[in-house]
Amino acid sequence: MQSLTFRLQVVTPLFLSGADQQVVELRPPSIRGALRFWFRAMMGGVVGGDWQKVKQLEDGVFGSTEGASRFRVTISWEPQELNIFDPTQQTRYETRDGLVYLSFPRLGWDSNVKKHRWIKPHIEPDSVFTLQLRFFDDSSSTQQLLIASLWLLLHCGGLGARSRRGFGSLRCLSPPSALNLSLHLPTDPQQLGRHFKEGLQRIQQVFSRYALSREISSSQLSDIFSNARASVPSFSCFHHWEAALITKDSWTSWNSVLDDMGQFLRRFRNNSLPSGSLRVQTPDYTNVVTYYLPTQIGGTWHLQHARVSSWDLQNDAFGLPIQYRSNSRSRQVSTQNQRFDISAIVKWRLGSEEHDRRGSPLIIRPLSLGNGQYAVILLILKSEFLPEGAVEYLQATGKWPPPAMVPRPRTQTISTANLGILSKFVAEAKKTFTDLGGLP
């Protein structure tokens, strides 16, 4: 059985748990699932977003109910190399607002010291573990596909919770010397654009060759760098995508990177980026908190739905659920003995099934270049935001006061998310930070 061994280092806190959320578990299925995601993402771009073809090609590598997988994942580490943060045994505080924003709810507020502290166990940065891919046949195409998928994981994604917001990022310390695809990032930020473009082009070639070998005709293949896109796919892939590489001189640690990116994302979503001397609230917050949630007038609580002609929110494109809470209204209605919560949540439903989660199409991925230098790739994998026939809606939530005291708003249907705001976010990031170019 042939095998390839990789030494991987954790760049940002890695939140991985099993059934018990208070126990860290670094297991092969997590790696395998991430490799599968990036296999689908690239193959989706190569075959023009055709899910049926992707599934057919995926089964040939990862296995299915009709056939076994062609590889095995194993993970190992030395006890001294894997550092686990256990909040029941340790206390660590964090004062960076952007980091708190991106990691929610992994940091909790400690009212005794007026600071946030880590409340979720995780694998700490600089931890090291060994990944081994073992192959059941001598097919070079399987090895190339898995190495290419690992490249995408290490360059564009991460493991565990909040990986789309910069957590669970990894870097390769010692890849096998025989690889033609470099898993190492260049130390010069100015070389990143070229490195990414050449890497993606080579990976596209590997996936295209495999598709052709599995009886997919050349006329059915697509170039991921082509701007001609007739349709949005049903799943996240490199069929409809945008990306940017950015950096900043003050990014000398993972904390500083995520703090800046968290603050930037929050300001963008609140529509409070510098614009003259004004800070204008986003219509989302104004409409939901001011007009959807009840307000107190003359000692009586009222609903003001009639003042809003269209419930077309913007920030839902960054992923669901989104919760809006009015602290002032909650304080007004609460008593010393009973605490109420006046809030609302954006969710979606398909038929009679209710759902509260839709992963963000935007991935914020810190890149550790060595020598204390960092960059970030912003990647948008556009797809249908919700399944056909699904409805997005706004609903009152929280520990609501008795309806006789405060009327509860009715469920309000809203427009399905428009992903165009994500493109505006990337464009604004390129203007705010140093744009390294090199990607579409």
Q: Strand, coil or helix: what is 348?
A: strand
Instruction: Output the pLDDT for position 228.
Output: 64
Strands (E), 36-186: 71-76, 84-85, 93-94, 107-110, 115-118, 122-123, 128-135, 170-174
323 strand-pairing partners:
345
Cα 78 from chain centroid (whole Å): 29
Cα 209 from chain centroid (whole Å): 29
Closest Cα to residue 320, out of 268, 389, 391? Answer: 391
CB atoms within 10 A of CB 131: 20
Entry field: residues in the chain: 440
**Model confidence at 80: pLDDT above 90:** yes
Q: What is the C-alpha separation between 233 and 218, in angstroms, rounded?
A: 19
Closest Cα to residue 97, out of 336, 333, 263? Answer: 263
Helix axes 28-46, 192-213, angle to 10 degrees: 80
265 in Cβ contact with 432 (< 8 Å): no
pLDDT in tens, 161-195: 999 999 999 999 988 776 788 999 999 999 999 99
Whole-Å CA distances, 387 to 129, 149, 348, 355, 395: 38, 26, 10, 12, 20
Q: Strand, coil or helix: what is 391?
A: strand
Q: Can you tell me the mean pLDDT for 310-327?
A: 90
Specify the range with the lowest mean pLDDT, choosing from 72-76, 115-119, 165-169, 401-405: 401-405
Q: Strand, coil or helix: what is 353?
A: strand
Q: What is the C-alpha separation between 105 and 170, in angstroms, rounded?
A: 21
The mean pLDDT of the chain is 92
Residue 270 identity: N
CA dihedral 84, 86, 91, 93 (to 10 degrees): 60
**Model confidence at 68: pLDDT above 50:** yes
pLDDT in tens, 40-52: 999 999 999 999 9
pLDDT category at 438 given cuts 50, 70, 90 is confident
| Maximum Cα interatomic distance, the chain, rounded to a whole number of Å | 78
